[in-house]
Amino acid sequence: MEGIERSRKRSRQREEILAVLRSTKEHPTAAMLHTAARRRIPRLSLGTVYRNLDVLEEMGLVLHIRNGNAQDRFDGDVSPHYHFVCDACGAVLDMPLPYRPELDEAAAREGFRVRGHRLDFHGTCPACSKP
Amino acid sequence: MEGIERSRKRSRQREEILAVLRSTKEHPTAAMLHTAARRRIPRLSLGTVYRNLDVLEEMGLVLHIRNGNAQDRFDGDVSPHYHFVCDACGAVLDMPLPYRPELDEAAAREGFRVRGHRLDFHGTCPACSKP
DNA sequence: GTAGTTGCAAACATTTTGCGTTGTT
DNA sequence: AACAACGCAAAATGTTTGCAACTAC
């Protein structure tokens, strides 16, 4: 018993949110996206931002980076990659290291059915390291 | 300019919360700890659980696993180790793989000041994999 | 006696949802 | 015409905090 197909209709709001997300490397929060997208769609509501981020995630166009107490972040780059989180300022940066499938293989050897992994480095980002 | 020293007084609540946390491998949420610890301290409040988890984390006795929208989890095992998160039931299990310092070294070579990393595998846990 | 700790309840911050309306197909 | 998506505001969720009473030292 599969879920029924869901036909999507396009909307200016969804396209604008995706465009903003793809135009930045900052891994913005929902609130940041709301602020940015409202420059072009002033009546855009925050609820619509959240709803569309869900839809875009389901479509595989957006990565939802869940972060505990801090606000969640969103990433328009859906290729497998790692992040660096700054302990000082909270920024999320891309980490230019290749994905390591051997980690998944090692985990699978322990008897887990593994789909993938998430790897976040933490420390002090270049900007915050400056004296 | 460092923060001033803070003298701690012991409390039954804090000891009970730590005892519960150390007695399980389930990486409980604050609410689970509240429920469990109330078996012995019926008037224990959820606020006290959160306050003590903060204190215990600051003391280095507890690991706070921040998880985005899902409730945060807590771990009485503070040695560096990895987790497996089940996509189906949400359980958090320990992953018996050694910590890989070479990942931090690779990240440091990219110019980051790295303190460590967090690695979560995801997939289907043994219990949910059973037919 | 001093200052950390508690229970309680109210406050917070973020995310989700219900509803009547609008827009896309 | 059907129904996805909208804006808005209210609700839900998880966590934090103010305060007066209590407790360890």
pLDDT at B71: 86
Nucleotide nearest to A15 (CA to C1'): D5
pLDDT at A91: 87
**Token pair 């709001």 in the structure block, residue:** A13
Average pLDDT over residues A109-119: 94
CA angle B86, B103, B110 (to 5 degrees): 125
Verify whether the Cβ–Cβ distance B122 to A115 is below 8 Å.
Answer: yes
CATH (domain of B24):
1.10.10.10
A95 contact residues in B (CB cutoff 8 A): 107, 110, 112
Give per-residue pLDDT as tens, A66-88: 876 678 999 999 999 999 998 88
Instruction: For chain A, count helices (H), then strands (E).
Output: 5, 5
A126 contact residues in B (CB cutoff 8 A): 111-112
A83 and B103 Cβ atoms separated by less than 8 Å: no
Check whether A106 has a pLDDT greater than 90: yes
Protein-proximal positions, strand C, CB < 7 A: 3-10, 13-18, 23-25
pLDDT at A2: 52
For B66, the closest of A67, A104, A115 (CB atoms) is A67
Q: Are residues A92 and A46 in the same domain?
A: no
Q: Which of B27, B113, B125 to mutate to test the interface with A (most CBs of A within 10 A)?
A: B113
pLDDT at A89: 83
Q: Classify residue B35: in a domain, yes or no.
A: yes
B82 and B121 Cβ atoms separated by less than 8 Å: yes
pLDDT at A30: 96
Question: In angstroms, rounded to a whole number, what is the distance separating the alpha carbons of residues B84 and B98?
Answer: 14
pLDDT at B4: 58
Q: Classify residue B57: in a domain, yes or no.
A: yes
pLDDT at B69: 67
Q: Are residues A67 and A86 in the same domain?
A: no
**pLDDT digits (tens), chain B, 131 positions:** 555 567 899 999 999 999 999 999 999 999 999 999 999 999 999 999 999 999 999 999 999 998 766 789 999 999 999 999 988 888 899 999 999 999 999 999 999 999 999 999 999 988 888 77
pLDDT at A3: 55
Give per-residue pLDDT as tens, B97-131: 999 999 999 999 999 999 999 999 999 988 888 77
Q: Are residues A86 and A121 in the same domain?
A: yes
Check whether A11 has a pLDDT greater than 70: yes
A61 and A18 Cβ atoms separated by less than 8 Å: yes
For A116, the closest of B64, B107, B122 (CB atoms) is B122
Check whether A34 has a pLDDT greater than 60: yes
Please name the residue ranges forming H helices in chain B: 12-22, 30-37, 46-58, 101-109, 126-129
3-state DSSP assignment of residue B2: coil
Determine what percent of chain A is predicted with pLDDT higher than 90.
79
Q: Classify residue A6: in a domain, yes or no.
A: no
pLDDT at A57: 96
Q: Are residues B60 and B97 in the same domain?
A: no
pLDDT at A126: 87
Question: In angstroms, rounded to a whole number, what is the distance separating the alpha carbons of residues B56 and B19?
Answer: 12
pLDDT at B75: 97
Q: What is the DSSP letter of A83?
A: E
Q: Are residues A70 and A53 in the same domain?
A: yes
For A72, the closest of B69, B111, B118 (CB atoms) is B69
A75 to each of A27, A44, A45, A83, B17, how far by Cα in Å? 5, 20, 20, 11, 37
B38 to each of B23, B41, B46, how far by Cα in Å? 15, 5, 10
Beta strand B82-86 pairing with B113-124: parallel
CATH (domain of B91):
3.30.1490.190
Find the domain containing B104 and state its range: 82-129
What is chain A's mean pLDDT, rounded?
A: 92
Total structural domains in chain A? 2
Q: Are residues B18 and B70 in the same domain?
A: yes
- Kindly tell me the burial class for residue A2, based on how many C-beta atoms sit within 10 Å of its own C-beta (0-12, 13-18, 19 or more): exposed
Adjacent-strand bridge partners of A117: B121
Q: Are residues A23 and A62 in the same domain?
A: yes
CA angle A77, A80, A85 (to 5 degrees): 75
